[in-house]
Amino acid sequence: QTGRFTLDPGFTSTASCESKITYIDGDQGTLLYRGYPIEQLAEHGDFLESCYLLLYGELPTRAEKDDFVHRVTYHTMIHDQMSSFFKGYRRDAHPMAVMTGTVGALSSFYHDSTDISDPHLRMVASLRMIAKMPTIAAMAYKYHVGQPFVYPRNDLDYASNFLHMCFAVPCEDYKVNPVLARAMDRIFILHADHEQNASTSTVRLAGSSGANPFACIAAGIACLWGPSHGGANEAALNMLSEIGSVDRIPEYVARAKDKNDPFRLMGFGHRVYKNYDPRARIMQKTCHEVLAELGHQDDPLLEVAMELEKVALTDPYFVDKKLYPNIDFYSGITLRALGFPTTMFTVLFALARTVGWIAQWKEMIEDPSQRIGRPRQLYTGYAERDYQPIDQRR
Ligand code: SDX
């Protein structure tokens, strides 16, 4: 039973499309992956199960899940020559710059799976992307902090393997904390897909020209980097750090209201949600769990975040504009507590969103009616006029 929703006549989008993957009701604060509420998937499922659901449209049976997990697990290594890629970057390069360049180059290593007309090769490319993104993200982090790369391990689950590749060092044994791994896995679920957001629309538009899936994902990573989009988790933590204490909140709230001040409350507001982002609630709960597990319940930034949320949710200015916390508001505090520097926050968003980009790209490629995207414009320039020789110009 697929619901058919007629678009509001006022609905405008440069890449409006039909999709069966994710449904958002911005007024209700509802988010469904293939009809399943995000709250239930985050509570009862795991990330690879959500990946299967987003890609194939149904929750996997036990046998289907075991097969999918096995196929992803055995694709986690990357071509060893790719490790020299990282060495071309400055050590202090932003990891999102590394991700954009490295993922874009994947097609030169895995060109055998870039024939998008072949369903089997399409799925091999999809699996490779989901499997290799944690490895590439962890290598970008290790390169950034000057530590040796840590290879993936097939005996660890997806989130544990990622944390191990990021935080293990050769000189001592590293045991992944299962509570933190579960939190990481849930954070991946929350970021997996979000219908036609800016980066997904970028991937669809790039894919509509027939570009290979690795290049399309690289385009999505580049778009996600912006502070108004995926870069907001890094910007939100930087904002909370700049505010520093509860008594400075009124100063920043006043700035957010000042039309002459470009400052915005990072992690607040959304193009679609005009109610609480359901992911933000789950992220806040996860934040408390992670801080409690680490004994950091008194993290001063959490106190600032909760007080800022309380002020914004009662201030008539924000209430009138229906500004609520979005997924990025609490994710920064959580990711920092997990051990990541702010520069890695959007990389983690891109890692998780890869499955959403791939699922949306696959849906578009498999639609026989799909054609190359071609957004139109409203021309507001000059009417036709004649060329003027340079000596006659004023
Ligand atoms: C993500 O699209 C997606 O689905 C994205 C995403 C995903 O999963 O892919 O959900 C991920 O990108 C979440 C959003 C992360 N970005 C931020 O947190 C950055 C801070 N937020 C804003 O920059 C802003 O809210 C946007 C960019 C998210 C939305 O910008 P819009 O479209 O201008 O917001 P709007 O139309 O709802 O704004 C209504 C009014 C405007 O004022 P007026 O021009 O009507 O006077 O509210 C104001 C805005 O200026 N406003 C804010 C504000 N967000 C909107 N004022 C202060 N602080 C804010 N955060």
* Dihedrals phi, psi of 31, to nearest 5 degrees: -135, 120
353 Cα to the center of ligand 1, angstroms: 19
pLDDT band for 338, please (50, 70, 90 cuts).
Answer: very high
Residue in 194, 229, 234, 239 to alter for ligand 1 test, most ligand atoms within 8 A of Cβ: 229
What pLDDT, on a 0 to 100 scale, did the predictor assign at position 121? Answer: 87
The arithmetic mean of pLDDT across residues 289-297, rounded, is 97
Amino acid at 161: N
The contacts of residue 150 (CB under 8 Å, 6+ apart) are 138, 142, 164, 165, 166, 168, 169, 170
State yes or no: pLDDT of 78 exceeds 60.
yes
CA distance 18 to 196: 10
CB neighbours (10 Å) of residue 192? 23
Is ipTM strictly over 0.95?
Answer: no
Q: Using CB atoms within 10 A of its CB, is residue 119 exposed (0-12), middle (13-18) or buried (19+)? A: exposed
Using CB atoms within 10 Å of the CB of residue 324, give its burial: 0 to 12 exposed, 13 to 18 middle, 19+ buried: buried
What pLDDT is recorded for position 17?
A: 87
Query: Could you tell me what percentage of the chain is helix, strand and coil, using 3-state DSSP and rounding each to the nearest 5?
Result: 55, 5, 40
Residue minimizing CA distance to atom 47 of ligand 1: 321
20-35 average pLDDT score:
97
Distance 27 CA to ligand 1 centre (A): 15
pLDDT digits (tens, 9 = 90+) for 136-158: 999 999 999 999 999 999 999 99
At residue 48, does pLDDT exceed 50? yes
How far does the centroid of ligand 1 lie from the alpha carbon of residue 326, in Å? 9
User: Do 365 and 114 form a contact (C-beta atoms < 8 A)?
Assistant: no
* pLDDT value of residue 113: 80
